[in-house]
Amino acid sequence: MKLKDWCDLNRKFFTESDFRYLINTNFSFESCFETSTVFLSDENVVFLNRVLDRYRNGEPLAYILGKEEFYGLEFKVNPDVLIPRKETELIVEYCIDLIQSRKFVKVLDLCCGSAVIAITVKKMTAMALNLTAADISEKALAVASENSQKHNQNIRFVASDLYSALEGEKFDLIISNPPYVKTGQIEGSLKFEPIIALDGGFDGLFFIRRILAESLIFLNPSSCLVIEIGYDQRLEVIELASKYGYDIIGWVKDYSQHFRGIVLRLKETKNQ
Ligand code: GLN
């Protein structure tokens, strides 16, 4: 069978970006164009049809292929970790600028999952960073550790329920993409992702509240805390941040102009 024929039949079942990613994993995308004479081996056909079946059943392509691209880098993913999202890339970009302009050295990725944040920040920053990545899930840490080896980045991984295993430490920058989806809104393709990485309780704010309460003693006066939040959580998080003793010094917006990353520092009065 020609690749072009398989593509003509099945392209409609995929989103355009997933379709391109799938074809590019094994062939060049140009190979499915009109004039192409690329033929599929029997194994190729079995592979593509198997991907198609799983995809049509709602499974995210990243889990089917076992990998996802983030910030132009390829990371291993499996159902023990969240699939990295575009909005997180924007938060990482902001953090890289922050690290470089403020000369931060000690950085923590809290609730690291597959560690895309820690690894990308370390790899893309033109400075020697001391990076720690923490997660409560040992299974997620196994994926994270594979990813750090794949990208040759030396990161300290810690199994920790938020800060439980980090007592007494201070960080220049703490970045967290915690679970923040409301329990009642874990539906659709989210059902394929690990509930432990998504479920933020009835209002989605269970871990954000805990992070705000527990981070205070892990920050220096000049440190920053950057937390990814849900698209509709801005007002509630502003209120919580002020209640727990932070100044908001910046925001990261996503591609839909929602405020998705809150950038915090200890309140001035607490600095004296
Ligand atoms: N970005 C994910 C979503 O909205 C949620 C990630 C999280 O809870 N940290 O689907």
**pLDDT tens string 164-176:** 999 999 999 999 9
To the nearest whole percent, how much of the chain has pLDDT over 70?
Answer: 98
Going from the Cα of 180 to the center of ligand 1, the distance in angstroms, rounded, reads: 6
* 238, two tokens: 């502003």
Angle at 121 between CA 135 and CA 18, to 5 degrees: 85
Distance separating alpha carbons of residues 177 and 197, to the nearest angstrom: 9
Going from the Cα of 101 to the center of ligand 1, the distance in angstroms, rounded, reads: 28
Domain residue spans of the chain: 3-57, 78-271
How many angstroms separate the most distant Cα atoms in the chain? 72
Q: How far is residue 182 from each of residues 30, 167, 170, 210, measured CA to CA in Å?
A: 41, 29, 30, 15
Give the mean pLDDT of the chain: 95
Q: 265 falls in which pLDDT band (50, 70, 90)?
A: very high
Residues 261 and 227: beta-carbon distance below 8 Å? yes
| Residue in the structure block whose two tokens are 């430490």 | 169
Q: Is 181 in the pocket of ligand 1 (CB under 6 A)?
A: yes
Q: Is 55 in the pocket of ligand 1 (CB under 6 A)?
A: no
Q: Is 85 in the pocket of ligand 1 (CB under 6 A)?
A: yes
Instruction: Give the model's pLDDT for residue 193.
Output: 97
Going from the Cα of 242 to the center of ligand 1, the distance in angstroms, rounded, reads: 23
Q: Residue 238, Cβ neighbours under 10 Å: how many?
A: 16
**Which atom in ligand 1 lies closest to the alpha carbon of residue 85?**
1
Q: Is 198 in the pocket of ligand 1 (CB under 6 A)?
A: yes
Q: 26 falls in which pLDDT band (50, 70, 90)?
A: confident
- Domain 78-271 maps to which CATH number in 3.90.1150.10, 3.40.50.150, 3.40.1440.10, 3.60.15.10? 3.40.50.150
**Which atom in ligand 1 lies closest to the alpha carbon of residue 231?**
4
Is 90 exceeded by the pLDDT of residue 116? yes
Q: Which of 81, 211, 228 to mutate to test the pocket of ligand 1 (most atoms within 8 A of CB)?
A: 228
Going from the Cα of 223 to the center of ligand 1, the distance in angstroms, rounded, reads: 25
> For atom 7 of ligand 1, which residue has the closest CA?
179
Distance separating alpha carbons of residues 212 and 210, to the nearest angstrom: 5
Distance separating alpha carbons of residues 207 and 94, to the nearest angstrom: 22
Lowest mean pLDDT among 3-17, 169-183, 228-242: 3-17
Instruction: Give the model's pLDDT for residue 31.
Output: 75
Distance separating alpha carbons of residues 194 and 192, to the nearest angstrom: 7
| Residue in the structure block whose two tokens are 């995308």 | 29
Going from the Cα of 181 to the center of ligand 1, the distance in angstroms, rounded, reads: 6
Instruction: Give the model's pLDDT for residue 270.
Output: 47
Q: Is 177 in the pocket of ligand 1 (CB under 6 A)?
A: yes
Q: Is 180 in the pocket of ligand 1 (CB under 6 A)?
A: yes
Is 50 exceeded by the pLDDT of residue 196? yes
**Which atom in ligand 1 lies closest to the alpha carbon of residue 88?**
1
To the nearest whole percent, how much of the chain has pLDDT over 90?
Answer: 89
* Direct distance between the N- and C-terminal alpha carbons of the chain, in angstroms, rounded to an integer: 72
Instruction: Give the model's pLDDT for residue 39.
Output: 87
Q: Which of 81, 181, 262 to mutate to test the pocket of ligand 1 (most atoms within 8 A of CB)?
A: 181
Is 60 exceeded by the pLDDT of residue 271? no
Going from the Cα of 110 to the center of ligand 1, the distance in angstroms, rounded, reads: 15
Taking the model in full, what pTM does it have?
A: 0.94
Q: How far is residue 272 from each of residues 65, 240, 244, 268, measured CA to CA in Å?
A: 52, 22, 17, 7
Is 80 exceeded by the pLDDT of residue 35? no
Instruction: Give the model's pLDDT for residue 272.
Output: 47
Q: 62 falls in which pLDDT band (50, 70, 90)?
A: very high
Angle at 44 between CA 39 and CA 50, to 5 degrees: 135
Q: 30 falls in which pLDDT band (50, 70, 90)?
A: confident
